[in-house]
A and B are shown apart, each in its own frame.
Chain A
Amino acid sequence: MKREASFLNSSIGMKVIMAITGIMLVGFVVGHMAGNLQIYLPAHDGVRPLDDYAVFLRTMLHGGGIWIARGGLIVATALHVWAAVRLTKMNRDARPVAYHAPVYKASTLASRTMRVSGAILAIFVVFHILHFTVGKFTPFEEGKVYQNVVTGFQVPWVSGFYILAMLCLASHLRHGIWSLMQTLGFNHPRYNDLRLKLATAITALVVLVNISFPLAVLFGYVKLS
């Protein structure tokens, strides 16, 4: 057996790709959430901290930083989706005939719908980039990030879609963060209970803060000028 070639083709190797790219994406959503919290900071000297932050993102490392981050995210997302598609095919082929009425005891709705929540997230990511980076769907002015976000979220269906996507993220992340620890072999009786708690805590933080943005705009707490 050629062992050199087998790791990336093995079921466990694919899961490890899933887990490592998952960690990269989790790192991204945590950072993204934290950066966006600046929407709540007041303007000083007429400059919105969020707009300032956007300038920083675009200019750090002489403008190269954002492309390093984007490159990493594109590669991670592509590998994540590629591994998900391959694993899904292996799993479908492994059970060609379904049970009459299966009874689940341990799995959760979140664990059984990773593909659905993942697919909605993929659609959301495309929508989100078209919306706030390219400037589609709602009024948009280059560089006016704060203003674009507020006018964007003032449209109820847009806010609704963001909130729905965040609920999918919650479902995907809580199972995913727990699952990746098991996949990478982090298992020890002293820390095992902490794993699900950590997954729940990270998920709650990211998702609740993210949902607060459209709600804050809809309820008029965050507004133009």
Chain B
Amino acid sequence: MEKHLNLTLQVWRQKNAQDPGGFKNYEAKGISTEMSFLEMLDVVNEGIIKKGEAPITFDHDCREGICGACGMVINGRPHGLRERTTACQLHMRSFNDGDVITLEPWRASAFPVLRDLLVDRSSFDRIIAAGGFISAPTGSAQDANCLPIPKDNADRAMDAAACIGCGACVAACPNASAMLFVGAKVSHLGLLPQGQPERTSRALDMVAQMDAEGFGTCTNHGECEASCPKGISLDNIAMLNRDYLKASLTYRPEVESGGF
């Protein structure tokens, strides 16, 4: 049943990367429980714009939980307290009349705040560019079943590939570590035959880029898994550790041409 809520938002406002920023309170009146969280913010922003002030900036795109663009820390939890839900898929029926809702950006030095709740996540793109790909010929499609893949591996690769790269794992981690993200990418390719040729260099290069971006390290708290809207498992971190360890022990140094 539709109800209407009166809420108080405590929102992080920050003009740009240099501005120190701070919290500002807003009243959100007559919010329908059938709105999504981002629609609620749209309504609040309309009111702010009518007053001639700058609206609250936040990232979003698909609004159906698949693109990974949205994301903010809602009441101390990335994407809010509801499990396996992106901020865009969170609905106002999860809140009660009179609630005070605190909104903050992802907090990580590798995700600098650009404005308000919008952060720059291009560090993730650079990690992918360092090794999160395969070099496969893109000619005509292969015959079905010419690359046998055990069902179990296909399932695990698919589960890892569900990562939408939203960054909630980094935001939730007390150390701002990106190990769940990198683990998901490394496992999803490493479990499939197409991922084997670059398996060694992938682990080494993606971890090197992850460290260079200034992400924290994994203390195995498990907060990443608990906040992941796609339920990516900590198993992927163990697999990344294993791949990295193996790659560090066995990689072959590059040789001048003519070497063997």
Are B81 and A93 closer than 8 Å at their CB atoms?
A: no
**Partner-A contacts on B (CB < 8 A):** 10, 23, 73, 75-77, 81, 102, 104, 107-110, 174-177, 204-205, 207-208, 210-211, 214-223, 225-227, 234-235, 237-242, 244-245, 248, 251, 253
Q: How many angstroms from the CA of A33 to the CA of B135 in the assembled complex? A: 54
Q: Is A1 an interface residue (CB 8 A)?
A: yes
Q: A14-B217, A99-B73, A183-B220 are in contact. Are A1 and B242 (CB under 8 A)?
A: no
Given contacts A3-B253, A185-B241, A187-B235, 12 further A-B contacts (CB under 8 A): A12-B241, A91-B216, A91-B219, A93-B214, A95-B216, A102-B76, A106-B223, A107-B223, A111-B222, A112-B221, A183-B218, A185-B239
Are B253 and A95 closer than 8 Å at their CB atoms?
A: no
Residues of chain A from 123 to 181 with CB closer than 8 A to chain B in the complex: 175, 178-179
Are A94 and B223 closer than 8 Å at their CB atoms?
A: no
Contact-residue size bin, chain A (C-beta under 8 Å from the other chain): 35 or more
B253 contact set on A, CB distance < 8 A:
3-4
Q: Is A59 an interface residue (CB 8 A)?
A: no
Are A1 and B107 closer than 8 Å at their CB atoms?
A: no
A179 contact set on B, CB distance < 8 A:
219-220
B110 — nearest CB in chain A belongs to which residue?
A: A94
Cβ contacts A86-117/B at 8 Å (1 or 0 each): 01001101111111111111111001101000
Q: How many angstroms from the CA of A13 to the CA of B245 in the assembled complex? A: 8
Q: How many angstroms from the CA of A11 to the CA of B219 in the assembled complex? A: 11
Q: A6-B208, A94-B177, A100-B23 are in contact. Are A105 and B237 (CB under 8 A)?
A: no
Q: Is A15 an interface residue (CB 8 A)?
A: yes
Q: A10-B208, A95-B175 are in contact. Are A182 and B234 (CB under 8 A)?
A: yes
Q: A11-B207, A90-B216 are in contact. Are A106 and B241 (CB under 8 A)?
A: no
Rounded to whole Å, the gap between the CB of B130 and the closest CB of chain A is: 9
Q: How many angstroms from the CA of A111 to the CA of B174 in the assembled complex? A: 10
Q: A12-B207, A105-B77, A185-B242 are in contact. Are A93 and B109 (CB under 8 A)?
A: yes
* A and B contact pairs by CB, cutoff 8 A, 16 listed: A1-B208, A3-B251, A4-B253, A11-B211, A11-B215, A12-B207, A12-B217, A12-B245, A14-B217, A94-B214, A95-B174, A100-B23, A103-B76, A175-B220, A185-B239, A187-B234
A93 contact set on B, CB distance < 8 A:
109, 214, 216
B248 contact set on A, CB distance < 8 A:
3, 7, 13
Are A94 and B215 closer than 8 Å at their CB atoms?
A: yes
Q: A95-B176, A95-B216, A111-B219 are in contact. Are A182 and B107 (CB under 8 A)?
A: no
**Partner-B contacts on A (CB < 8 A):** 1, 3-4, 6-7, 9-16, 87, 90-91, 93-108, 111-112, 114, 175, 178-179, 182-187, 189, 192
Rounded to whole Å, the gap between the CB of B169 and the closest CB of chain A is: 11
Q: A99-B73, A100-B76, A103-B75 are in contact. Are A182 and B237 (CB under 8 A)?
A: yes
Closest 4 CB pairs of A and B: A185-B242, A187-B238, A94-B216, A106-B222
Are A15 and B218 closer than 8 Å at their CB atoms?
A: yes
Q: How many angstroms from the CA of A103 to the CA of B218 in the assembled complex? A: 18
Q: A11-B217, A107-B174 are in contact. Are A182 and B238 (CB under 8 A)?
A: yes
Q: How many angstroms from the CA of A90 to the CA of B10 in the assembled complex? A: 30
Q: A6-B204, A99-B73 are in contact. Are A91 and B109 (CB under 8 A)?
A: no
Are A106 and B221 closer than 8 Å at their CB atoms?
A: yes
A112 — nearest CB in chain B belongs to which residue?
A: B174
B73 contact set on A, CB distance < 8 A:
99
- Choice from A87, A95, A104, A182 contacting B241 with Cβ under 8 Å: A182
